[in-house]
Amino acid sequence: MARQLSLLIKPVSADCNMRCKYCFYIRPGDPYRSEGRHLMDDRTLRTMISSYMKSAGKCASFGWQGGEPLLAGIDFFKRVAEYQQSYGLSAQLVSNNLQTNGLLLNDEWAKFFKRYNFFIGVSLDGPEEYHNAYRHALNGLDSFRQTMKGIQTLRNHQVEFSILTVVNDITVKKPAELFQFFIRNGLYHLQFIPCVEMNRETQEMKGYSLSVPDYKDFLCTLFDVWYNKGKPIASIRLFENILAVYMGIDPEICAFHNECGSYVVVEYNGDVYPCDFFVEEDWMAGNLLETPVHEMMNGPKLQAFNRRKIQQSSGCSNCEWNFICHFGCQHDRLVNGMNYLCEAYREFFSYTQKRFHLLKQALST
Nearest 5°: the CA angle 249, 255, 257 is: 45
Residues contacting residue 170 through CB under 8 Å, at least 6 positions apart: 130, 133, 134, 208
Residue 214 is a catalytic residue: no
Q: DSSP string covering 235-251, please? A: EEHHHHHHHHHHTT---
Distances (CA, A) of 325 to 68, 258, 329, 332: 30, 8, 9, 12
Of 230, 219, 220, nearest in space to 360 by CA: 230
Are the C-beta atoms of 126 and 133 separated by less than 8 Å?
A: no
> Could you give the 3-state DSSP secondary structure of residue 13?
coil
Residue 46 to residue 41: CA distance in whole angstroms = 9
Burial track 199-218 (b if 16+ CB lie within 10 A, e otherwise): eeeeeebeebbbebebbbbb
Integer CA distances (angstroms), 348 to 277, 326, 351, in order: 24, 15, 5
CA distance linking residue 259 with residue 47, whole number of Å: 28
Residue in 142, 217, 276, 332 annotated catalytic: 276
Determine the Cα–Cα distance for residues 109 and 127; give it in Å rounded to an integer: 25
User: How far apart are alpha carbons 226 and 139 in whole angstroms?
Assistant: 37
Residues sharing a CB contact under 8 Å with residue 257, sequence separation 6 or more, in sequence order: 3, 250, 251, 326
Catalytic site positions: 276
